[in-house]
Structure 1
Amino acid sequence: MKHFIVEINYLVPLARVQESVPAHRAYLQTGYDAGLLLCSGPKVPATGGFMLARAASFEALQDFFAQDPFSTERLASFAFSEFQPVKRQGWAEAWFSEA
C-alpha cells in the first residue's frame, strides 16, 4: 500500500460547502469501511481539510476522491502527497503495515 496526505481546498463559500458536508462525510465513511482512510477533518480556519489515506496506487486514490461529493459538485480541489511513513505510534502499526 502507498500512503498519502490528502489536502482539500474549498473553491466556493463555506456556506455552500456546509450544505454538502453530510454527503461528503457519508462518502468518506465508505473509505473508512474499506480501510483507505485513517483520519480526516477540516482545517482551522475552515478553508478545506486534511486526510491520511492509503491506496494500492495514486490512480486508485484519485479515482476514489473523484466520486466524493465535494469533487462531483465542484466544491473543492484535492491535492495528494505520497509519503513513506517510517516512524509511527504503535497503535497505528496494523493500519500502516497491511499490504
Structure 2
Amino acid sequence: MPLIEKDANLFTIDLNYIVPIEQVEPHISAHMDFLQRNYDQKRFLASGPKVPRTGGMIIAVGSSRQEIENLIKEDPFHIHALAAYEITEFVPRMKADGDL
C-alpha cells in the first residue's frame, strides 16, 4: 500500500516555539505520543526538531488542509500554547522510487 494515496496531498508543518524551551520540555513526552499516534495512522511521514532547537518540522499526508489543522489542535504543544504552526500544502508531482 502506498504511503501517499492518489487523492492525498503532502503538507509541511513548521512549528516555532513561542515560549522558552524550558516551558516546552515538560510536554515533549506527550508531544511524542501525539506524533506516534499519527505515524500509526499513516498521517505523518517524517518529523524532527529544527537545528538550532527553535521548533520542529512535520511532513504529513492528508486529504485537506482542514484535516491537518484539526490534527494540530490535538498536539500538546498547541493545547498548551507552546508553538505557532505554519502549514504549507503541496501536490506531489514527482517522488523517489519506492512505495511513497
**CA displacement at 1:89 relative to structure 2:** 1.8
SS at match of 1:90: coil
Instruction: Name the TM-score, length of structure 1 as normaliser.
Output: 0.88
Alignment size in residue pairs: 93
User: How big is the alpha-carbon RMSD for the aligned residues of Structure 1 and Structure 2?
Assistant: 1.0
Q: Tell me the CA shift for residue 85 of structure 1.
A: 1.9
- Greater helix proportion: 1
Q: Deviations over 1:35-68 (max 9, x none)?
A: 1000000000000111110111110110011110
1:70 aligns with 2:77: yes
Letter in 1 for 2:30: A
Q: Distance in 2 between matches of 1:84 and 1:2?
A: 5
Change (3 A) 1:63 1:38: same
TM-score, length-scaled by structure 2 = 0.88
Select the residue among 5, 11, 17 that pairs with 1:10.
17
Q: Distance in 2 between matches of 1:53 and 1:91?
A: 18
Matched ranges for 1:30-45 at <5 A: 30-45=37-52
Structure 1: 5+ residue runs without aligned partners? Answer: 94-99
Q: What residue in structure 2 maps to residue 28 of structure 1?
A: 35
Unaligned runs of 5+ in 2: 1-7
24-33 or 81-90: bigger deviation: 81-90
Find out whether 1:58 has 2:61 as its counterpart.
no
